[in-house]
Amino acid sequence: MELITKYFGDFTPVQLQQFAALDELYNDWNSKINVISRKDMESLYEKHVLHSLAIATAFEFKPGSTIVDLGTGGGFPGIPLAIFFPEVKFLLVDSIGKKLKVVDAVAAALELKNVTTRHTRVEEIKDRKFDFVVSRAVAPLKDLWQWSKPLLKKPSPNSENQKPGLICLKGGDLAQEISESGCRPRLMEVHEIFGEEYFKEKYMLYVSL
């Protein structure tokens, strides 16, 4: 938890309480339904919560905007971002129902009113459009962008700074993956935001419409 307050200092008491509660909630649920590797549970705040919040350092989601977390797994990056942006609506999507059971339970325990979930494949969502798609190491960039494009709202003339787009967290050498995607993402190094060793070779990619 100290890791979060090391980099972010402007939380309300409710947000601090919510972030602090994640440890016990995920430990409890992970013992019943394994959504996070046991080794990673020891560094939940570094490898999952803080990593998810890298997105919040580079993007200011406006109140009322809508975000879909594609392949959310145990709720990352969606749950930490939903705590960070209480005025933003998040839909957390996964094709594995038992993972969403954990996400629903965590969101309910934290009283997150801005989180809904859907048990589906993201390419089957036809009824909604979003300002951003977020994702964490779910699939190659080429696939992520193909799935994301139909879900994104059309850019408005005054959205020059942050056009609707895909924001994904990835690691390792991405040169070939970016080349094969046909996209020209904006690439940000997470290690430049958070100094911990773990974030070396971790990147945030942003592809806009």
Q: What residue numbers does the annotated binding site for S-adenosyl-L-methionine cover?
A: 71, 76, 122-123, 136
Q: Where is the binding site, in residues?
A: 71, 76, 122-123, 136
Q: What are phi and psi of 133, to 5 degrees?
A: -110, 130
CA 124 to chain centre: 20
CA atoms of 73 and 70, how far apart (whole Å): 9
Q: What is the DSSP string of 190-203?
A: GGGT--SGGGTTEE
Question: Alpha helices of the chain — where are they, by DSSP H?
Answer: 2-7, 13-32, 38-41, 44, 51-58, 78-84, 97-109, 141-148, 175-181
Token code pair at residue 191: 């290690």
Q: In 3D, which of 150, 140, 156, 127 has the Cα closest to residue 65?
A: 156
Positive/negative CA dihedral, 125, 62, 202, 19: negative
CA atoms of 192 and 190, how far apart (whole Å): 5
CA atoms of 60 and 178, how far apart (whole Å): 25
